[in-house]
Amino acid sequence: MTKAKYKVNSFFAGIGGFDLGFENQGFQTEYLCEINPFCNEVLSFHWPNVKKGTDICAIDESSIPVADVWCGGFPCQDVSVARGASQRLGLDGTRSGLFFRYAELIEKKRPKVVVIENVEGLFNSNGGRDFGVILQRMTQLGYAVAWRLVNSRYFGVPQSRSRVYLCCWQKDLARATHVMFDSVGAHSTSNARKDFVTEASKPNEYPKVPKVAYCLAATSGRHTGTDWSRTYIVCDDGVRRMTPLEYERLQGFPDYWTLPSKYDVDDDNTDTLRYTAIGNAVSVPVVEWIAKRISKQLSSKTDTMEQKDVLQYVPEFKKSKWYSGNLADIDFSNSETTYKWPRAGIAWEGSYVGGNVPPSPAEKIPSSLLDIVEKKHVNRKYYLTPNAAEGILRRVDNQGRQLFAPLRIALEKEKAKKDN
C-alpha cells in the first residue's frame, strides 16, 4: 500500500466528511476532534486507530499530531439563516464561538494549510462582522485567505447546498488562490431554480422526483407536516420523506456510513441521530475537489502572486463589480456598522479584494436525484400521513410557493384520504 504523502487533522469532525474527502485524494488522517457521542461512534467505526479528541476547549495542543492540513467547520447553528435573524448569535454564540478556540490552536501549532467551512449565513452574521473577524484573525496569524461560496449540486451530488469554504495558506497568496479559483472561469449556473420543479423521472414511472433536492437539514426522524421545503419522494402508493440512506448518498457518503454496528437500522432514535449528523456534514465531493487542488499545490514549485495579480487571474473578478478594503483599519466590535461581503475573494496582510464568482467548478459534474433514490419500497414509517400532507399544502399555499407538480398532485390525493 502506498504511503500517504500528506497528512490531515480534522476538528469539529462530525461523521468524517472532510477526512473521507481528503483520504480519497491520497491524504492520511492523523487526528479527529469531535464532541458529539453518536458522531464519535461513527468516527471510531471507520477510523479505529486514529488519535481522537473530544472537547476542543479541553484538549492540550501538545497532544495534536503534526499535519500539513487542518480542516473543520465550526458549528454553524449560531450563524445559520435557518434560525432567523432574531435567534442568531453569530460568533458570540456558544457553538460558533468555538472558532476562537480553533484559532488559538492554529496559532500555537501553525499548520501550513487551514480549510474552514460554514453556512452562507456567515457572510451576514452580526451584520457581516463575524466574517470580517475571521478574515482579520487568520491574516493576523500570517495566512493568506481565499474564500468562495460553492454549491454541492455542481460537484456531483444532486442537492442544492451552498456553503462557504476558506482556504488559508501560511504566507502564500498564490497557492490559496489556485486552490479556490480557476483561471478559465466557473461554469454558468443560470436558471438553476427550475431544477427544483423539473421532473427527473420518466412519465408514468415511479418514484417521481425533481432533478435536484433542497438543501438537507439537520432534522429529526419524525415528521409533522410543518416543512414544505424538504424534498419528498412520490411513490405509487403515497408520498414519503427521504431515508437516512438517501441522505448519505446526497452528501456523497458510502451507503450505511452512519450506521455503526451497535445501532439498529429500524430504530426511530437512530434515524434522528443519522438525519442530524448527515445534515450537519460537509458534502464529500466538494471536499475532494478542494483536497485534490491542495495536494497539487503542496507538490508544486513556489509561485508568487500579489493582490493585483488575483484580479487578472480570476476571470470573474475582472468583469464583475469588485470590493476592496483594509481589514487592519476596521473595528469589527462596532455593532452599529454592517458589512456586505462578496461571495468570493482573497485576503492577505490586512487587505482584501473580492467579487462575484459562480458557485460551480470550471467543469460541472452532472448528477440526478433519481439516481440516488431507493427504488424498492421502504418502511411505511417514512410515508406522510393525510394530516402531514394537509399541513404541507396549507403552508405552501399560505406562502405562495410552487411545488414540484407530481408532488402537489400526490399530496392532494393523500389529503383527500382524511375526508373519507
Question: Average pLDDT of each block of 10 consecutive residues along the chain (420 residues)?
Answer: 82 98 98 96 96 95 97 66 41 62 95 97 90 93 97 96 97 94 73 78 86 84 62 94 95 94 75 94 98 96 76 78 81 85 92 90 93 92 94 92 92 88
Q: Is 392 helix (H, G, I), strand (E, B) or coil?
A: helix
Q: Based on the residue annotation, tell me whether 76 is a catalytic residue of this protein.
A: yes
Which cell is 247 given?
Answer: 441522505
Residue 163's contacts (CB-CB under 8 Å, 6 or more residues apart) are 73, 117, 118, 119, 120, 149, 150, 151, 152, 282, 283, 286
H/E element, 233: strand 232-235
Q: What is the pLDDT of residue 149?
A: 97
Q: What is the pLDDT of residue 79?
A: 39
Q: What is the pLDDT of residue 227?
A: 64
Pinpoint the alpha helices (H) of 48-171: 98-109, 129-140
- 44-70 pLDDT, tens per residue? 999 999 999 999 999 999 999 999 999
Q: What is the pLDDT of residue 95?
A: 44
Q: Which ranges in the chain are annotated with CATH 3.40.50.150?
A: 6-188+282-355
The active-site residue out of 76, 167, 168, 215 is: 76
Fold of 6-188+282-355: Rossmann fold (3.40.50)
Return the sign of the alpha-carbon dihedral for residues 8, 12, 14, 18: negative
Q: What is the pLDDT of residue 77?
A: 46
Are 259 and 271 contacting, i.e. CB atoms less than 8 angstroms apart? no
Cα 329 to Cα 131: distance, rounded to the nearest angstrom? 15
Given the C-alpha cell 419522494, which residue does it identify? Answer: 233
CB atoms within 10 A of CB 57: 9
- 322-366 pLDDT, tens per residue? 778 888 888 888 888 899 999 999 999 888 988 889 999 999 999
